[in-house]
Amino acid sequence: MEALLIKVEKRNDVSPSIYFLTPVLAIFLTLIGGAIIFYVLGFNPIEALKFFFITPISDLYGLSELLVKATPLCLIAIGLSFCFKSNNWNIGAEGQLIFGGIVGGGVALLFYGHEGFYVLPIIILSGAIGGMIFAMIPAILKTYFNTNEILVSLMLVYVAKLLLDYLVVGPWSNPEGFNFPETRQFSESARMPILFDGLRIHAGIFITLATVFLSWLILYKTYLGFQIKVSGLSLKTAKYAGYKGKTMIIIVFVISGACAGLAGVGEITGPIGQLHRNISPDYGFTAIIVAFLGRLNPVGIIFASLVVALTYLGAETAQIFLQVPKYTGQVFQGMILFFLLGSDYLLFFKIKFLGLRKNEL
Amino acid sequence: MYKYFLRYVISVLFLLGISGQANAEFKVGFVYVGPTGDHGWTYQHDEGRKAVEAAGIKTTYVESVPEGADAERVIRQLAQSGHDLIFTTSFGYMDPTNKVAKDFPNVKFEHATGYKREHSNVSTYSARFYEGRTLLGHMAGKMTKTNVIGYIASFPIPEVIRGINAMTLAAQKVNPDIKTKIVWVFTWYDPGKESEAAQALIDQGADIIMQHTDSTAPVQVAEKAGVWSFGQASDMQRFAPKSILTSIIDDWAPYYVERSIAARDGTWKQQDTWHGLKEGMVAMAPYNSAMGSDLVKEVEQLQKDLASGKTHSFTGPIYDQKGNILVAAGSVADDGMLAGMNVYVKGVEGDIPQ
């Protein structure tokens, strides 16, 4: 019997410039893949790509919407980068976002009818704390009971979703709302200030930018950032160096949860203005793509969040103008991740063909 | 200063956008909450849209639009891209629809199942589905052997409570011993949850399954278990040919065509529409002959009487669960009471989730 022998070898010399260029290559390959799909579906590929990637941001409103969409994605992905860099697989950012939204929204309802400059900061802070607490659950279970954080954080998403369902259907539903599953509209001082008349972009973007800057400081300029990086590269080295692994696991989860909680509170006090069952179109899951597309790097994540946000807007415009099926947006997100992971593999591993050999059975 | 500049830029952009569309043809946009292939709520709205196309008017639709922050952008984009009339077909689009309507006074908006008409270019419309439920109740009361009717309910909003009550009242009329058991699934569309609910109700002795949710899962479970069922929103007969006695069909087509033509011809006016069997917005799928020709005749007569107004789904005396009178003998519930209905009638088991 003969078999083709393939040997996979790890490369040790990956240049940083190529490392950061592969996401660009992945996006480029996605465009080509997208053009082929559009062609097969019977659309003019150039026109479809134009409606997908250019039309949505060809006016101020579109640009503002892009930022509205990218703001939560960027914020969550930044938080996730702390976890992923240190080999902690927090898959439950969606749940942390929802729980942050629940806590922040609860405070907003508590302040219903109150006006004052202090209302919004309290809401934002409580949303961040809510996300933090919810992220602590998988972290503590992991550190003290050795549970798998992927499973725990993922399953907690459903807990948060069902809790939100219960609250908006029952105790928190709008007393004048005919039992529809939604709360009252928050009062004016519980809403994120709108930056420009007629556009939806709100002050939440400053929170995101501040978080990006802080993250960069922590990751690249502090001892904690160094510890995170070392533990990600080699857990054994981290242990040998005497880093407190347990504390670090909790810290990265807390940071990640706070970011997701902030994103949740930004959505409900920003474009939504109340609590209902659909406060997030799975931002917490999409942010995982954003984090990896941005190479877990704060600046990279900013760009990645814009690209992924554009795939959402593009899917809508392409549907409105060409009646392209809505789910092409998700196909594009999938393709980006696929090409990125594929080129990563080729980047880090050499594939050697050793020719045909006789197998000795 | 910059604010004025920005306003200027925005208005110029808007004007460019509008002038670009000035002589564009008349277009109608539809926003759907689910996929057009759900065979329930969205499917029927899309059938309505196709009727508008067939009437020679160009249409666009956007499907699976989440009821969160994204809805406002989609509605606004439709308005901005030259659509003259926009149907937003889910309750959760109520606030975004009104918000966008404010900024586009020349575009007409129609919101399904809502109650807010904050601007003169917003109409609301819904159907008297409860009339169909009365017919279902009549059949259920006659067909049940266990005297337990299983009801899969979505959300405890007036529309759903109204359906439960109308069905129970009609069933009691022909069979005073019946009980209505309800499972709340808190979703409009989730085949998994819906089939679990149907199974749970069958396990509790229900031999009739009806649903106020949109998937075909409950009727399929009923078919397997050998109990009777009723389809929802569209004719679901082919998914459970033996089990289904009939389906309540939402027929939006005549309304969509009428309103689209009115908007095109400039005769569109704000209104709150609540149409039923009479106008055809609620229709019944063919009755299953397995229930016997006598019963079919009875139900057909009842359908005629409901349509003509000779019979009303909520005719007194009607009592709540505790025995307090809700509607006095000899009178019928008015639309205001129906619109805000928030209590079960006697014979329904359990409490409304609060």
Contact state of B64 with A321 under an 8 Å Cβ cutoff: no
Q: Quickly count: other Cβ atoms within 10 Å of residue A163's Cβ.
A: 14
Residue A23: pLDDT above 80? yes
How far is B202 from chain A, CA to nearest CA, in Å?
Answer: 25
CATH number at residue B25: 3.40.50.2300
In this structure, are B300 and B186 located in the same domain? yes
Non-local CB neighbours of B47 within 8 Å, separated by 6+ positions: B234, B252, B253
Distance CA B94, CA A180 (A): 12
Please write down the long-range contacts of B302-308, taking CB distance under 8 Å and 24 or more positions apart.
Answer: B302/B134, B302/B135, B302/B138, B303/B135, B303/B277, B306/B131, B306/B134, B306/B135, B306/B276, B306/B277, B307/B131, B307/B276, B307/B277, B307/B278, B308/B278
In this structure, are B164 and B51 located in the same domain? no
Residue carrying structure tokens 């880090």:
A348
In this structure, are B18 and B80 located in the same domain? yes
Beta-carbon contacts below 8 Å between A and B:
96
Q: Which residues form the domain of B329?
A: 129-249+284-339
Distance CA B283, CA B128 (A): 10
Distance CA B138, CA B174 (A): 7
Distance CA A254, CA A287 (A): 17
Which residue, among A158, A278, A286, A317, would best test binding to B if mutated, counting the most B CBs under 10 Å from its CB? Answer: A278
C-beta of residue B133 within 8 angstroms of C-beta of residue B248: yes
Contact state of B353 with A165 under an 8 Å Cβ cutoff: no
Non-local CB neighbours of B61 within 8 Å, separated by 6+ positions: A323, B29, B30, B31, B32, B36, B46, B49
More confident site: A15 or B301: B301
Contact state of B67 with A281 under an 8 Å Cβ cutoff: no
Query: What backbone torsions phi and psi does residue A61 show, to the nearest 5 degrees?
Result: -60, -45
In A, minimum Cα distance to B354 occurs at: A170
Distance CA B119, CA B101 (A): 7
C-beta of residue B247 within 8 angstroms of C-beta of residue B232: yes
pLDDT at residue B239, rounded to an integer: 94
Please report residues of B whose CB lies closer than 8 A to that of A319: 62-63
Picking from A60, A165, A178, the nearest residue to B158 by CB comes out as: A178
C-beta of residue B89 within 8 angstroms of C-beta of residue B63: no
In this structure, are B8 and B46 located in the same domain? yes
Non-local CB neighbours of B128 within 8 Å, separated by 6+ positions: B274, B275, B276, B277, B281, B282
Q: Within a domain: residue B255?
A: no
Q: What is the pLDDT along chain B (354 residues), one digit of tens a residue?
A: 455 555 554 554 444 444 444 457 899 999 999 888 878 899 999 999 999 999 999 999 999 898 878 999 999 999 988 999 999 999 889 999 999 999 999 999 999 988 889 999 999 999 999 999 999 999 999 999 999 999 999 988 889 999 999 999 999 999 999 999 999 998 888 899 999 999 999 999 999 999 999 899 999 999 999 999 999 999 999 999 999 999 999 999 999 999 999 999 999 999 999 999 999 999 999 999 999 999 999 999 999 999 999 999 999 899 999 999 999 998 999 988 898 888 999 989 888 887
In this structure, are B180 and B211 located in the same domain? yes
In this structure, are B197 and B116 located in the same domain? no
Task: Give helix then strand counts, H and E, for chain B.
Answer: 11, 14
Picking from A59, A170, A320, the nearest residue to B354 by CB comes out as: A170
Q: Within a domain: residue B279?
A: no
Nearest one of B329, B341, B330 to B133, comparing CA atoms: B341
- Partners of B60 in beta bridges: B29
Distance CA A164, CA A171 (A): 11
In this structure, are B88 and B139 located in the same domain? no
Domain C-terminal end among B127, B146, B169: B127
Give the dihedral of Cα atoms A109, A115, A120, A121; nearest 10 deg: -120
Q: Residue type at A189?
A: S
First-to-last alpha carbon distance for chain A, in angstroms, is: 8
pLDDT at residue B19, rounded to an integer: 42
C-beta of residue B274 within 8 angstroms of C-beta of residue B128: yes
Q: Round the average pLDDT of chain A to a whole number and report it.
A: 90
Picking from B9, B72, B74, the nearest residue to A271 by CB comes out as: B72
Q: Within a domain: residue B273?
A: no
pLDDT at residue A17, rounded to an integer: 82
CA B277 → CA A78, B219, B284, B306, distances in Å? 55, 23, 9, 7
Q: Within a domain: residue B352?
A: no
Picking from A169, A197, A271, the nearest residue to B186 by CB comes out as: A169
Nearest one of A283, A214, A282, A296 to A71, comparing CA atoms: A283
DSSP secondary structure of A211-229: HHHHHHHHHHHSHHHHHHH
Q: Does A282 touch chain B (CB under 8 A)?
A: no
pLDDT at residue A7, rounded to an integer: 81
Q: Quote the Cα angle for A268-A272-A273, to 5°.
A: 70
Nearest one of A295, A228, A234, A278 to A256, comparing CA atoms: A228
Residue carrying structure tokens 């809790």:
A163
Confidence band, pLDDT 50/70/90 cuts, at residue A279: very high
Q: Quickly count: other Cβ atoms within 10 Å of residue A42's Cβ.
A: 7
Q: Within a domain: residue B228?
A: yes
In this structure, are B208 and B295 located in the same domain? yes
pLDDT at residue A334, rounded to an integer: 86
pLDDT at residue A120, rounded to an integer: 95
- For chain B, list residues whose CB is within 8 angstroms of any CB belonging to chain A: 3, 6-7, 9-10, 13, 17, 29, 60-64, 66-70, 72-74, 76-78, 80-81, 91-92, 95, 103, 115, 155-158, 161, 186, 340, 342, 352-354
Q: Within a domain: residue B275?
A: no
Q: What is the pLDDT of residues A326-336, one digit of tens each?
A: 788 888 888 88
Domain C-terminal end among B92, B127, B162: B127
Tokens at A51, concatenated? 């409606």
In chain A, residues 293-322 whose CB comes closer than 8 Å to chain B: 312-313, 316-317, 319-321
In this structure, are B18 and B146 located in the same domain? no
Domain C-terminal end among B90, B105, B127: B127
Q: What is the pLDDT of residues A237-269, one digit of tens each?
A: 888 888 888 888 999 999 999 999 999 999 999
In this structure, are B227 and B323 located in the same domain? yes
Contact state of B77 with A316 under an 8 Å Cβ cutoff: yes
How far is B69 from chain A, CA to nearest CA, in Å?
Answer: 5
Q: Within a domain: residue B257?
A: no
Please report residues of B whose CB lies closer than 8 A to that of A170: 353-354
Contact state of B72 with A276 under an 8 Å Cβ cutoff: no
In this structure, are B18 and B117 located in the same domain? yes
- Partners of B62 in beta bridges: B31
Confidence band, pLDDT 50/70/90 cuts, at residue A343: confident
Contact state of A281 with B66 under an 8 Å Cβ cutoff: yes
User: What distance separates the 2 farthest-apart alpha carbons in chain A?
Assistant: 81
Contact state of A181 with B155 under an 8 Å Cβ cutoff: yes
Please report residues of A whose CB lies closer than 8 A to that of B342: 178-179
CA A45 → CA A26, A41, A318, B11, distances in Å? 18, 9, 11, 32
C-beta of residue A324 within 8 angstroms of C-beta of residue A50: no
Go through the domains of chain A in sequence order and give each one's CATH number: 16-60+76-325 (1.10.3470)
Picking from A279, A313, A327, the nearest residue to B68 by CB comes out as: A279
In this structure, are B20 and B161 located in the same domain? no
DSSP secondary structure of A18-54: HHHHHHHHHHHHHHHHHHHHHHHHTS-HHHHHHHHHT
Q: Does A65 touch chain B (CB under 8 A)?
A: yes
Q: Within a domain: residue B268?
A: no
Non-local CB neighbours of B9 within 8 Å, separated by 6+ positions: A60
pLDDT at residue A336, rounded to an integer: 86
In A, minimum Cα distance to B113 occurs at: A180
Q: A346 in helix, strand or coil?
A: helix
C-beta of residue B158 within 8 angstroms of C-beta of residue B191: no
Cβ burial B286-310 (10 Å sphere, 16+ → b, else e): ebbeebeeebbebbeebbeebbeee
How far is A328 from chain B, CA to nearest CA, in Å?
Answer: 12
Count of domains in chain B?
2
Burial of A283 (0-12, 13-18, 19+ CB in 10 A): buried
Q: Quote the Cα angle for B246-B251-B255, to 5°.
A: 160
Distance CA B69, CA B74 (A): 10
